Chain A
């Protein structure tokens, strides 16, 4: 009986340090890792190395699915192939017509902007990547793709499919990278309602067929069926790409904000191939480069004061300053 109490704390046949000590060591180690991963930059390198080690396993885990797709592709019948072929031909013709129209529009656009040379192409570089893993966590919406740093993938590069925006690159490994989808609850994308030009933010809901628009006032002009396109703000996504379509608007009398839901336009849960795109910053539709954004937000006090002055027309005190400036300008002019 007397030995019972000690045997729990210190096993009789044990060797090495006690479980408590070992747990303390491992706990400190994990806490350090967490701290580094949350704050420091160089932990990205640890993650990079670990992701390199994980790549073969990811490929292996995905191989049954890949084998199934390969099987169905290679054993599909002649009739389905012919049908697919005619469909693709139709699609190519339609796209060719659209491209002709687009070239004319681009020329017209550059004339309207009084540019002598044609605008540079919006997309500087694009790359097709294959999905090799789906993060199956409950709320997490991530994809693992088979292109990494060695293929020239960069952090925050937009990822699209043929129908719309899918997400952006969140982590890079040497041969693979992780894409955070627009439906992930940790992701928010600046959007614009195509019909009215209203700007807002779409946040992921944690499942593959839903986006939430939590920042729309109850009286804002949105209705079911409206197309959402990327607004080009935020510096990651270019303007004008389809993001989703509004599926439901709920307005309640006692709520200031409307409850708006949308469905993503891209085939978030069915896509096997995605496209990574890099934009030419010289094109006006491209997202502004991070340096420009940093410059714009660098001197906050005067900018904010001016913005407030313009927005608040009732406040007389802030308005006095711009007037004074104008007077000064007037004086300095001869």
Chain B
């Protein structure tokens, strides 16, 4: 189990992921950009559920709301829901082979985007295009890379 000493690492990687999430990109790149912060939060709440709890999800989501100018609390709700799923199911998913984990990640990202989509629809905030679902697939495909990169920041599993 990961000890509390990883907390600075968790915060640092989350901030880097947040910057990657809001970095202005040209052309079609925003469409295929994976939700870096969501993947990072998902990783830490699966691997270190008692260090990076739901607070990370909530405040990370709130940061996304502020920077993306969406309805305040929208991403916060979606990301705390995602952390909740990860906390409940981490015993189930963390020991699985990496490609099976990717499938779980796909489902989790779809659930995350579904929450956002529903809130967008209810509040009439913005039109939605089918392209908004693309990043879930990219994120799931990128999951092995996320595990490879973030796994270097801690030793014990």
Contact A22 B54 (CB under 8 A): yes
C-alpha spacing A185/B124, complex, angstroms = 12
C-alpha spacing A14/B129, complex, angstroms = 41
Q: Within residues 22 to 48 of chain B, which ones have a CB less than 8 A from any CB in chain A?
A: 22-25, 30-31, 33
Size of chain A's interface in residues, with CB distance under 8 A? 49
User: Contact size class for B?
Assistant: 35 or more
Task: Report the minimal beta-carbon distance from B48 to chain A, rounded to whole angstroms.
Answer: 12
Contact B73 A37 (CB under 8 A): yes
> Does B117 lie at the interface of the complex (its beta carbon under 8 Å from any beta carbon of A)?
no
> Does B149 lie at the interface of the complex (its beta carbon under 8 Å from any beta carbon of A)?
no
Contact A138 B80 (CB under 8 A): no
When A13-B1, A54-B66, A139-B128 are in contact, do A23 and B80 touch as well, CB less than 8 Å?
Answer: yes
C-alpha spacing A60/B128, complex, angstroms = 30
When A37-B73, A46-B72 are in contact, do A185 and B126 touch as well, CB less than 8 Å?
Answer: yes
Provide the residues of chain B in CB contact with A46, threshold 8 Å.
72
Provide the residues of chain A in CB contact with B73, threshold 8 Å.
29-34, 37
Contact A30 B80 (CB under 8 A): yes
Task: Report the minimal beta-carbon distance from A118 to chain B, rounded to whole angstroms.
Answer: 42
Contact A19 B127 (CB under 8 A): no
Contact A19 B54 (CB under 8 A): yes
Provide the residues of chain B in CB contact with A7, threshold 8 Å.
91
Q: Within residues 61 to 75 of chain B, which ones have a CB less than 8 A from any CB in chain A?
A: 61-63, 66-69, 71-74
Contact among B23, B66, B69, B123 for A38, CB-based, below 8 A: B123
Contact B74 A34 (CB under 8 A): yes
> Does B156 lie at the interface of the complex (its beta carbon under 8 Å from any beta carbon of A)?
no
Contact among B31, B77, B83 for A34, CB-based, below 8 A: B77
Task: Report the minimal beta-carbon distance from A228 to chain B, rounded to whole angstroms.
Answer: 21
> Does B125 lie at the interface of the complex (its beta carbon under 8 Å from any beta carbon of A)?
yes
C-alpha spacing A50/B69, complex, angstroms = 11
Provide the residues of chain A in CB contact with B57, threshold 8 Å.
26
Task: Report the minimal beta-carbon distance from A205 to chain B, rounded to whole angstroms.
Answer: 9
Chain A positions 296 through 325: 1 when the CB is less than 8 Å from some CB of chain B, otherwise 0: 000000000000000000000000000000
Provide the residues of chain A in CB contact with B83, threshold 8 Å.
23
Task: Report the minimal beta-carbon distance from A183 to chain B, rounded to whole angstroms.
Answer: 12
CB-CB nearest in chain B for A185 = B127
> Does B58 lie at the interface of the complex (its beta carbon under 8 Å from any beta carbon of A)?
yes
Provide the residues of chain B in CB contact with A256, threshold 8 Å.
none
Task: Report the minimal beta-carbon distance from B152 to chain A, rounded to whole angstroms.
Answer: 24
Contact among A27, A36, A178 for B81, CB-based, below 8 A: A27
C-alpha spacing A23/B131, complex, angstroms = 29
Q: Within residues 39 to 57 of chain A, which ones have a CB less than 8 A from any CB in chain B?
A: 43, 46-47, 50-51, 53-54, 57
Contact B66 A50 (CB under 8 A): yes
C-alpha spacing A133/B58, complex, angstroms = 24
When A31-B73, A43-B72 are in contact, do A139 and B54 touch as well, CB less than 8 Å?
Answer: no
Contact among A30, A37, A186 for B58, CB-based, below 8 A: A30
> Does B104 lie at the interface of the complex (its beta carbon under 8 Å from any beta carbon of A)?
no
C-alpha spacing A46/B76, complex, angstroms = 15
Q: Which 9 A-B pairs have the closest CB atoms?
A: A33-B73, A30-B77, A30-B73, A37-B72, A23-B84, A34-B73, A26-B80, A134-B24, A19-B87
5 pairs, A vs B, C-beta closer than 8 Å: A11-B49, A15-B50, A26-B54, A32-B73, A61-B19
Known: A36-B72, A43-B72. 8 other contacts (CB 8 A): A20-B84, A31-B77, A34-B73, A58-B67, A61-B23, A133-B22, A138-B30, A138-B129
Contact surface of B with A, Cβ cutoff 8 Å: 1, 19, 22-25, 30-31, 33, 49-50, 53-54, 57-58, 61-63, 66-69, 71-74, 76-77, 80-81, 83-84, 87-88, 91-92, 119, 123, 125-129, 131-132
